[in-house]
Structure formats: structure tokens, C-alpha cells
Structure 1
Amino acid sequence: MVSIIIASHGKFAEGILQSGSMIFGEQEDVKAVTLMPSMGPDDLKAKLEEAIASFSNQDEVLFLVDLWGGTPFNQVNGLFEAHKDKWAIVAGLNLPMLIEAYASRLSMDSAHEIAAHIIETAKEGVKIRPESLEPKDDAAAPKEEASKAVTGGQPGSFQYVLARIDSRLLHGQVATAWTKTTNPTRIIVVSDAVAKDDLRKQLIQQAAPAGVYAHVVPVDQMIKIAKDDQHFGGQRALLLFETPEDALRAVEGGVPLKELNVGSMAHSEGKVQPNKVLAFSQEDIDTFNKLKDLGVKFDVRKVPTDGQDNMQNILDKAQSELNKKK
């Protein structure tokens, strides 16, 4: 796997490393190297060399630096000259660039290949509100045309690439890590409550990654779509449910889901929390048991790089804690 060094003035590199871990999960062979006010160029060079020496793969190294021409860049560039056939440097670091680099490591074995690939994502991550301030790009195709290009515009039913229960719905881990892994053309939030909330609908649509449509539909509408989806041109759908109860209604209504990714369920009064990210009421436990009886399997993890937790063990622990509260 390609190794990554994040280099910056001050603690920016450490902060963005932490942010990337929150969204995409902890990463091996990634180091933050910071230039602090008390340090000189030689001190920074020594820290860079120490970080490189710690990697399991020192042949393929990607450097993500904050500023072209700054001291971190200059010291990286001095080391780079002897390895430029394999190593690569990208300046102008932002969080979309880092997340894309993490995702690219899963399928690309070359620092050069990843460096060339992440540039466009880094640019797309720079957006403005109000949208009228965005520079006009006459060459950009409308989103609908881009979607047709992806799917070919041919008749065909939905392919469900992921169905996820997440009380946060469309947030960073979904918009980056899961979207990169599953490559959907449509993200569909299935929720009666959100469908009635114009502000939440607007925020979800704005959070969609470039080239992907985001929709919010009530559960009954999703059931209708699932029963008559032949006009969707073979779209790849990622479904997001706010609660397990909404997911159960969808499955019972005929949405053909064989597996549910369980990512996050927020704590509230009357619930127990058997692990850091999942909280259950008795209704939630009963709902998961009904889904299990319908043949639905559970993939319990926040991001694709996490190991899977055992859902039955989690449910048993939650039930035990609820029984103690009675």
C-alpha cells in the first residue's frame, strides 16, 4: 500500500490527519509532519526522514503538503529528487484530497497514479454559497447528462449498492468513504420525517458528492419505486435510513434488501448504548430481530475499512442492559 506523509506549517497536518480518521477510519502508514515556530529546515528534514523510515513501504510514498514553495514543500522536494521515479508530491492539501487519497490506496499501488487522480477531487471540494458566486463553467455538462453518461441511459432496474442505517444520514463518512467504495449514482434518504422537512432536504441535497444525485423520499414512495423501477436506467442506489423501523417498513413493503449496513444510531432518553456509536430502545431491538427473521443480514461498521462487529452480540448486550433498567 502507498505510504502517505502529510506535511504543513503548524499543526494543520495533525488536525487534518485526525479529521480524515474520523471520516475514513484509522490508517496505516500515514504520518503527519509539522513545522513548528521553534524549528529550522534541518529539524523538519530529520522528522520527514524519521517518518519515512517507519513505513512498511518506503518505495511508494505520497507527500501531501499545505503550500507550494513553503518550507515543508522545499524539504520534501529535497528528499524527492532521489526518488522521483516512484514518489510524488501534491500541494494545496484539503480534506477532500486526503479522503480521496485514502480511498485510492485501496485500488492503486502507485504514488504517481494516486497523485494524478486526487487533483480533481481536491478542486471539486472547493465550493461557494451563495451558488451565484461560483465561477461559470460553460463546458460543464448538466448533472442529468452526467448521470446518463454513467448509466448509459438504458432501461434497467435499480442496483442497490448499499443500504445503511445512520441517524446522521448523509454526512462525511457516507459522502466520502462509502460513496467511494460503492460508487452510487443516486443517494436516496428514505424517511417520512425528513421528507416533510424542507430545510433538512435542502441540506442533504447540498451534501451530495459531485456527480451523485441525492433524493429524500417517504418510505411508501420508496416501496412504490422498488416495485416499478424499470425506468431508472440501471441506476446504482445507496439507501439511507434514519431508523431501523423505517428500514423494516421498506423491507416488509417489498424493497429487496438482503443486507443492512448499521453505522450509527443516536442515543436518546430510554435507550441503552452497548458500544460507542449504537444506542437501542426495546423497539429497536425488536425491529432488528424482525429484520433478521426476514432474512436480512447486518454489516456493523462505521466506515469500509473498519472490521465488522457481531450484531447478535450487540443486541444481546443491549437487551441485557435494558432488562437491568426495568
Structure 2
Amino acid sequence: MVGIILASHGEFASGILQSASMIFGEQENVAAVTLMPSEGPEDIKKKMQDAVQGFDNQDEVLFLVDLWGGTPFNQANSLFEEHKENWAIVAGMNLPMVIEAYASRFSMESAQEIATHILGTAKEGVKVKPEELEPEEEKGAVVEQSASAGKPGKLSYVLARIDTRLLHGQVATAWTKTTGPTRIIVVSDAVAKDELRKKLIQQAAPPGVKAHVVPIEQMIKISKDDQHFGGQKALLLFETPQDVLRAVEGGVPLETVNVGSMAHSPGKVQPNKVLAFGQDDIDTFNKLKEAGVKFDVRKVPSDSKGNMEEIIKKAQEEINKK
């Protein structure tokens, strides 16, 4: 696996490492290296050398630094000179760049290949609101992935996820990069009636992916349409397992449901840090299981999968004690 060093003036690198871990999960072979006010060039160079020594693969190293020409860049460059056939340096570090680098390591084994790949994402992550302030050449830069809409064929499903927060950073980055949808569809009667939430969800869609909010009955109709969604790949987001059950019973062909986050509320028990269950939730998951649906319990793709049967059993035991 390619090793990644995040390097900056001050604590910026440490902060972006923490933020990326919140969104994409903890990563191996990644280190944050900081140049503090009391330190000099040799100090940060030593930190970089120590970080490289800790990587599993020291032949493939990618440096993501804050400023081109700054001390972190210059010291990374001095190390790079002895490894220029394999190592790479990218300046202008931002959070989309770091997350894309993490995701790229699943399929790319070369630091230089990842460096080339993440440039587009890093640039796309720089946006302005109101949109009218965007330069004209940037407005047309994003290719609409919905161009294949209208072709014969049914919608395909790359992920169905239960997440109380719906479309947020972990979904817009980690899951979208891993599954490659052309559309993100929030399936919820409640959200479909809330114009503000609908607008916020549409604005949160990552570049090149269309976001929609539809009621459950509309999703059922879409799933049966074999004339207009050929080539379209959907990532479905549900707030509750009850909404998933309604969709499945209505004919939406979901084989596996990713269970990512269920918020706590009065009367519910919390068998782990991110999932809270009431008796109705447990009963609903059991009905989904009876319908042949499997469960993938994890927040982000890099997490290990949880055991849903054990989680439900623990939740039932806690409810029975109340």
C-alpha cells in the first residue's frame, strides 16, 4: 500500500488527518508531519524520514503538502530526489484531495499514479457560493452523469444505506468513491415534503453525481421502470429501516442494506456507538431478514463489518431489561 505523508506549517496537517479519519475511517500507512514555530527545516525533514521508516512499503510514498515552495515542500523535495522514480509530491493539500488519495489506494499501487489521479478532485473541491461568482469556464466543467438517462433498461443499485444523517461527508466522499453511482437518491416521504432539506441534499451532492429526493411510492415505481433508467447506477439513502421495508415490500430489489447510522432518541437502546434501536426497529430488521435482505454494518468502506445478529440480540436484551 502507498504510504501517505501529510505535511504542513503548524497543525494543519494534523487537523486534516483527523477530519479525513472522521469521514473515511482510520487509515494505515498515513502520517501527519508538522513544522512548528520553534522548529527548522532539519526538524521536519527528520520527522518525514521517521514517518517513511514506519510505512509497510517505503518504495511508494506520496507527500501531500500545504504550499509549493514552503519549508515542508522543500524538505519533502530533498528526500524525493533520491526516489524520483517512485515517489510523488502534491502541493495545495485540501480535504477532498486527502480523501481521494485514501480511496485511490484500494485500486492504485503507485504513488505517482495516485498523485495524477487526485488533482482533479482537489480542484473540484474548490467552489464558491453564490454560483454566479464562478468563472465562466468553470461552470461548464462538470460533466453531467445523467446523460445516459432515458435509455431502455432498469436502474441498478450500487448501495442501499440506512443513515439518519442521509447525505453527509462519509456518503458524499467515501461511499460515493467506492461504489461509483451516477445518482444519489434519498428515499423518504418526510424529506420529500421538506423543501429546505431537499435543497440542502441536492447541494451536498459530490461533483458529477445527481442527487434526488423521492417518496417511497415513487421509488417503487422507478424500480419497475424498464424504459428510462438504462445505464444509471443509484446509491439509495434511507432514514429508517421501516422505510427500507416499505420499499422492499413494494418491489425495490435490494439484496443487501448497509446499516451506517441510526440516531438515538427517547425509548431506544444503543448496542454500539452509532446504532440505536427501539422494539419496532428490531422487528423491522427481522422482517427484512425474512425477506432475504442481508446486512452490511459499517460506517465507511474501510471499517470491518459488524455482526447484525449479535447487535440485534444485544439490543433486544437491553430492551427486555427496561
Q: Secondary structure of the residue that 2:137 maps to in structure 1? A: coil
The residue correspondences of 1:155-170 to structure 2 (distance < 5 A) are 155-170=152-167
Match in the other structure for 1:48: 48
Match in the other structure for 1:14: 14
Offset at residue 135 of structure 1 (A): 1.2
The residue correspondences of 1:1-326 to structure 2 (distance < 5 A) are 1-137=1-137, 140=140, 144=144, 146-148=145-147, 151=148, 154-325=151-322
Residue by residue, what CA displacement relative to the aligned partner does 1:36-56 show, whole Å, maximum 9, x if unpaired? 011111111111111111111
**In 2, Cα distance between equivalents of 1:45 and 1:268:** 49
Residue by residue, what CA displacement relative to the aligned partner does 1:71-113 show, whole Å, maximum 9, x if unpaired? 1111111111111110000000000000000000000011110
**In 2, Cα distance between equivalents of 1:147 and 1:4:** 34
Judge conservation of contact 1:24–1:303 (CA < 8 Å) in 2: yes
Residue by residue, what CA displacement relative to the aligned partner does 1:250-279 show, whole Å, maximum 9, x if unpaired? 000110111100000001111110001000
Residue by residue, what CA displacement relative to the aligned partner does 1:98-139 show, whole Å, maximum 9, x if unpaired? 000000000001111000000000000011111111111278
Offset at residue 153 of structure 1 (A): 6.2
Q: Which amino acid aligns with 2:276?
A: A
Q: Which range is displaced more, 220-229 or 120-129?
A: 220-229
**In 1, Cα distance between equivalents of 2:227 and 2:186:** 20
**In 2, Cα distance between equivalents of 1:304 and 1:195:** 28
Displaced runs of 4 or more, over 4 A: 141-144
RMSD: 1.3
Q: Percent identity?
A: 75
Structure 2 residue ranges without an equivalent (≥5): none
Structure 1 residue ranges without an equivalent (≥5): none
Q: Which amino acid aligns with 1:274?
A: P
Residue by residue, what CA displacement relative to the aligned partner does 1:192-239 show, whole Å, maximum 9, x if unpaired? 110011111011001101111000000111011112243112200110
Judge conservation of contact 1:89–1:115 (CA < 8 Å) in 2: yes
Q: CA separation of 1:143/1:196 partners in 2, compared to 1, >3 Å: closer, same or farther?
A: farther
Q: CA separation of 1:135/1:258 partners in 2, compared to 1, >3 Å: closer, same or farther?
A: same
Aligned residues: 322
Offset at residue 147 of structure 1 (A): 2.8
Q: What TM-score does the superposition give when structure 2 sets the normalisation length?
A: 0.97
**In 2, Cα distance between equivalents of 1:102 and 1:299:** 21
Q: Secondary structure of the residue that 2:80 maps to in structure 1? A: helix
Q: Which amino acid aligns with 1:317?
A: K
Judge conservation of contact 1:158–1:230 (CA < 8 Å) in 2: no
Judge conservation of contact 2:152–2:230 (CA < 8 Å) in 1: yes
Offset at residue 141 of structure 1 (A): 6.2
**In 2, Cα distance between equivalents of 1:22 and 1:141:** 29
**In 2, Cα distance between equivalents of 1:229 and 1:236:** 13
Q: CA separation of 1:34/1:101 partners in 2, compared to 1, >3 Å: closer, same or farther?
A: same
Q: CA separation of 1:84/1:142 partners in 2, compared to 1, >3 Å: closer, same or farther?
A: closer
Q: Which amino acid aligns with 1:123?
A: K
